[in-house]
Amino acid sequence: MPAQPLLTDFPAFAHLQTKAQSLQKGSISALIDDDTQRTLNYVRTAAGLRVDFSKYLLDDATLALLLQLAKQADIQRSIAALFGGDCVNTTENRPALHTLLRADADDGMAEQFTQVSATRASMQTLADTIHHGKHQGFTGKAITDVVNIGIGGSDLGPRLATQALAPYHGSVRCHYVANVDPADISMTLAGLDAQTTLFIICSKSFRTEETLANGLTARQWLLDHGASHGDLQQHFLAVTTNLEAAAEFGIASANCLPMWDWVGGRYSVWSAVGLSTAIAIGWDRFSEFLQGARHMDLHFRTAAHEQNVPLILSLLELWSCNLLGATNHVVLPYDQSLNELPDYLQQLTMESNGKSVNLDGITLPYHTAPVLWGSAGTIGQHSFHQLLHQGTLQCPADFILPLTSHTDNAEQHRRLVANCLAQSRTLMVGRTLEQATATLTARGADMQSAQTLAPHLVMSGNRSNTVVTMEKLTPSTLGALLAMYEHKTYCSAQLWGINPFDQWGVEVGKDIGVAVYARLQGDDESPIDPSTDALIAQWREANR
Amino acid sequence: MPAQPLLTDFPAFAHLQTKAQSLQKGSISALIDDDTQRTLNYVRTAAGLRVDFSKYLLDDATLALLLQLAKQADIQRSIAALFGGDCVNTTENRPALHTLLRADADDGMAEQFTQVSATRASMQTLADTIHHGKHQGFTGKAITDVVNIGIGGSDLGPRLATQALAPYHGSVRCHYVANVDPADISMTLAGLDAQTTLFIICSKSFRTEETLANGLTARQWLLDHGASHGDLQQHFLAVTTNLEAAAEFGIASANCLPMWDWVGGRYSVWSAVGLSTAIAIGWDRFSEFLQGARHMDLHFRTAAHEQNVPLILSLLELWSCNLLGATNHVVLPYDQSLNELPDYLQQLTMESNGKSVNLDGITLPYHTAPVLWGSAGTIGQHSFHQLLHQGTLQCPADFILPLTSHTDNAEQHRRLVANCLAQSRTLMVGRTLEQATATLTARGADMQSAQTLAPHLVMSGNRSNTVVTMEKLTPSTLGALLAMYEHKTYCSAQLWGINPFDQWGVEVGKDIGVAVYARLQGDDESPIDPSTDALIAQWREANR
């Protein structure tokens, strides 16, 4: 196998470095003013989404160089490998077939698709039965509340999708418990009735510590509230590959939905992991969610590089992080129901691309995944936007904006939209010293105090951002949005030369966790390290 | 006035640069192994909190240099100025007296304290009346739900404190609405009964766009659900300085609690802005919250530099960000009820210190506030911890750990504690190539495949982190924790030479927001910029 080239080895990279130096002296506003076609040429559409990167610090020549870079990295081969079922997860020697989870029968990979299709049929039956209030608890009452117990990929995806699609909910309420902190499950259960509550245990291995602990607590809660052991069957479903462990827990295989080793947790909302969302919105809507993602897949697979939305977003990330020095990426959904999108994307991007070695095991001489963070707009405007506008760090931003509201409060939604567009523009234009001085004198300040204060009002502007719009946040556009970020993440991994599908960095912590737990239990007294030992002693003191 | 010195001008700074170069070659584990006193010497306590920074990449000489830096920056004078009511908010020409909000009568500033004291008495009466179910709605039923309408500092503080202190709640439920997105208030009101719901409008100016819009929606909701105009008085309280605007909205001055211009929004949870929290937990508990913060104040004001917890945390921030190149700071509370702490601290730190000019208006040649982010542990372990352990960025971390649980589920809490200590240790020790190879061969891999895969399992370790513990998360320790971060933020501002109490960077966005809103309303057709104009056209198309 030929050695994996480094990002810095591609011929286009050196040209981009030169370009970065010259462009940093220019301004985004000037680029917009100088090119009447920019608002057309710096917009791409796919699967109901419109991505506007006209307020990004780059010009036509930069974009051409970035597209050359993609070609030099043979990104088209990587895309084909993903969809073709190649072993793109090299360190774990398996494919990454999350796109198959939303595929149609004729999209390929027939053998695995048969399993997907069978699982979809089971999901549909379960989801619709529960959604329509036809699944009963141990006293014969219809299930009204579903609690998904899972963590990481078995939590963040369905949690986000269920929240984002609130306008499509039926009468069953879905809740999410992830943390091993007992406060999480106890606060959730406090408001629920055991007779009408169903639990879904989501764990590929059925060995996830947090999930098992919460599952046992849930089981005990049912028993404490009148269920017999025989009743438990009606109150538990599982999503897992480990039918044996599920059976040991007390969940019959008929109540288990499968997972596959060719789907990573952070790419699994499209699988049976999404069951709680399917229950909340019903199967037809969940199918639309899958279809939205599939439309993005088709686009990603077939669109020319210069039209390819996920690829272009990835190239913008490379440009920001590896050429202009950004170390973080802020995501600002102007939609309260997407409040948890940054949490979801943190796992997707940082667990996928928070790596330091390339496929050949070479330590990389450049940065990979930036820290992704953010919150729903307009919340952040009254918080961290100060730093976005006047801080010393670059924070390339994605604004995400559904253009219409599910509510009938058009006036408030108009304010939301206005704020989103205003923040995007403000990051670009900033405020000059002259403008600041004029602002102050217009408010009645004398020239001397205006000149003293004005530097504090200056905003550099020139802060790159994209605006992703959609007509409405629907199951379909949400699916497209998440698939867009999945594929962007994949492209960035290819350009950086890393494997986005493994997560070797979480192993050691689990092992050490087992050791510390044994110490806390008193099962083992061997020292760990002086600092940890001192903390353990302190815990003992507090829990005597 | 003498010119404000730059951080880089202090004599200790150059020595720290040299030190940074040499220490980066060493390891934290070795520092711990080489110094039997480290687990004692790198721990500080204050107001019920214990801060352990033994797993930070610094040694005694570094700490001595950092303390010299603090002395050279005359931090003691800054501390005295804060508590003494000096105009520390230079650009707005006023003091920052948030510490007075939790002070006792003999702590100084008698004139302002009289106002604080009177407000506390009003808060106490209101909080206890409502907490004990003695406040009635328009049909004579007791108030069961309180909705706080505010944004930024009028939301994040009480929202966090109410959530964090859930074990102390009485029977009144508190809800928080911040976003102008109408989905926020409509989702909140969907579960409530107008007859038993009280609203608190929190806005210093009573002109905050989001808050007023939501307030009007709330008022209409009450009217739509049977309240008469005359009934509204019983359902609205306000926290504001603008009694006139509140009266115009329909809230009599008797139902208004004051704010003062010497308290910034992000420092205001201790004021009447905390009313919803006081209602949730009752006045006695809220007093404990204030007292916890006051204990931290006394510590900060009087402790020697080398014992001063907020100062030392600030020096660690400087060391990480300005000498070792970190650009972010991750906060990991191992307590589900502190899940929103990162959001709160984002405002506190990034709105305070996201600045680029010093007090003299000079553009700074170094970084100020890092991006602060995080989430409750163990959630992040199944998400972004991959990047913390194996990414290319430094992410200095604060672990926050209450040592006992409010629940009786000791087993799950033990797992939570074990995970926290394990993650802290794992960041320090990492995994070497030799260990990775040995791990793989022990699992049965042959030497060649072990050697190929091992680089992917390597973790650099040497990633600095602190562990902040407390016996229990109580109103008092929560107060101390938040005050600790306030004072840390203040110290960092002093060392960077900036004003942490203004936020000039948010003005322009508001002005542009007004202009865009006028365009969306159709009140104004003048062009803004081609990119914004195109987005407006797109919104029009979607909303025809």
B539: which chain A residues are within 8 Å (Cβ-Cβ)? 403, 417
Positions of E strands within A96-157:
145-149
B493: which chain A residues are within 8 Å (Cβ-Cβ)? none
**Selection from B410, B438, B99 nearest residue B269 by Cα:** B99
Predicted confidence (pLDDT) per residue in A207-241, tens digit: 999 999 999 999 999 999 999 999 999 999 999 99
Token pair belonging to B111? 């004139």
A521: which chain B residues are within 8 Å (Cβ-Cβ)? 414
Strand order, beta sheet including A465-470 = A43-46, A49-52, A465-470, A397-402, A328-333, A371-374
In what helix (H) or strand (E) does residue B422 lie, and over which residues does it extend?
helix B410-429
B298 in contact with chain A, both atoms CB, cutoff 8 A: no
Separation of alpha carbons B534 and A226, rounded Å:
61
**3 state DSSP class of B267:** helix
pLDDT above 60: residue A1: no
Separation of alpha carbons B206 and B240, rounded Å:
6
Look at B379 and A418 and tell me if their CB atoms are within 8 Å: no
In this complex, the residue of A343, A355, A512 whose CB is nearest that of residue B375 is A343
B156 in contact with chain A, both atoms CB, cutoff 8 A: yes
In this complex, the residue of B153, B351, B426 whose CB is nearest that of residue A384 is B351
Token pair belonging to A348? 């997707």
A506: which chain B residues are within 8 Å (Cβ-Cβ)? 381-382, 385-386, 389
Separation of alpha carbons A358 and A210, rounded Å:
31
B 324-343: CB under 8 A from A: 327-328, 334-337, 343
- What pTM, to 2 d.p., does this model score? 0.98
Beta bridge partners of A69: none
**Selection from A406, A426, A405, A424 nearest residue A414 by Cα:** A405
Which residues of chain B fall short of a pLDDT of 50? none
- How many residues appear in chain A? 544
State the nearest Cα–Cα gap between A63 and chain B, in angstroms: 18
DSSP state of A143: P
State the nearest Cα–Cα gap between B370 and chain A, in angstroms: 8
B30 in contact with chain A, both atoms CB, cutoff 8 A: no
Separation of alpha carbons A434 and A436, rounded Å:
5
Separation of alpha carbons A191 and A204, rounded Å:
28
Considering chain A, what is the average pLDDT of its residues? 96
In the prediction, which pLDDT does A116 show? 96
Give the CA dihedral B181, A474, A271, B386, nearest 10 degrees. Answer: -40
A 514-533: CB under 8 A from B: 514-517, 519-521, 528-533
CB atoms within 10 A of CB A261: 12
Catalytic residue among B25, B111, B382, B525: B382
Reduced 3-state DSSP string for B286-308: HHHHHHHHHHHHHHHHHCCHHHC
**Which sequence positions of A are flagged as catalytic?**
351, 382, 510
Is the preceding peptide bond at A129 cis, omega within 30 degrees of 0? no
CB A347 within 8 A of CB B383: yes
Predicted confidence (pLDDT) per residue in A7-25, tens digit: 999 999 999 999 999 999 8
The residues, ordered by sequence, that sit 6+ positions from B521 with a Cβ below 8 Å of its Cβ are A414
Strand order, beta sheet including A236-239 = A173-177, A145-149, A197-202, A236-239, A256-257
Look at B384 and A354 and tell me if their CB atoms are within 8 Å: yes
**ipTM reported for the complex, 2 dp:** 0.97
Look at A383 and B335 and tell me if their CB atoms are within 8 Å: no
Look at A355 and B391 and tell me if their CB atoms are within 8 Å: yes
In this complex, the residue of B367, B382, B543 whose CB is nearest that of residue A392 is B367
The residues, ordered by sequence, that sit 6+ positions from A385 with a Cβ below 8 Å of its Cβ are A423, B505, B506, B509
State the nearest Cα–Cα gap between B110 and chain A, in angstroms: 31
Separation of alpha carbons B303 and A404, rounded Å:
55
Separation of alpha carbons A520 and B418, rounded Å:
7
In the prediction, which pLDDT does A350 show? 98
In the prediction, which pLDDT does A2 show? 66
In this complex, the residue of B265, B353, B393 whose CB is nearest that of residue A367 is B393
pLDDT above 70: residue A445: yes
Separation of alpha carbons A403 and B197, rounded Å:
32
A368: which chain B residues are within 8 Å (Cβ-Cβ)? 391-392
CA-based end-to-end distance of chain A: 59
* Chain center to CA of A221: 32
Reduced 3-state DSSP string for B143-177: CCEEEEECCHHHCHHHHHHHHHCHHHCCCCEEEEE
In the prediction, which pLDDT does B525 show? 86
State residue A145 phi and psi, 5-degree precision.
-135, 135
Q: b/e per residue, B149-185, with b = 16+ CB within 10 A?
A: bbbbbbbbbbbbbbbbbbbbbeebbbbbbbbbbbbbb
Token pair belonging to B428? 């320090």
In the prediction, which pLDDT does A3 show? 82
CA-based end-to-end distance of chain B: 59
Look at A421 and B505 and tell me if their CB atoms are within 8 Å: no
DSSP track, B461-507: ----EEEEEESS--HHHHHHHHHHHHHHHHHHHHHHT--TT--GGGH
Look at B535 and A421 and tell me if their CB atoms are within 8 Å: yes
State the nearest Cα–Cα gap between B346 and chain A, in angstroms: 6
Amino acid letter, residue A330: V
Q: How many CA atoms lie within 13 A of B35 on its CB side?
A: 18
Look at B528 and A156 and tell me if their CB atoms are within 8 Å: no
State the nearest Cα–Cα gap between A108 and chain B, in angstroms: 31
In what helix (H) or strand (E) does residue B257 lie, and over which residues does it extend?
strand B256-257
Give the count of Cβ contacts less than 8 A between chain A and B: 468
A464 in contact with chain B, both atoms CB, cutoff 8 A: no
Beta bridge partners of B146: B174, B198
Q: Burial of A240 by CB count in 10 Å (0-12 exposed, 13-18 middle, 19+ buried)?
A: buried
Q: Is the dihedral of CA B505, B510, B511, B512 positive or negative?
A: positive
Mutate: best of A371, A464, A498, partner B, most B CBs <10 A? A371
B192 in contact with chain A, both atoms CB, cutoff 8 A: no
**Selection from B337, B408, B417 nearest residue B376 by Cα:** B337
DSSP state of A413: H
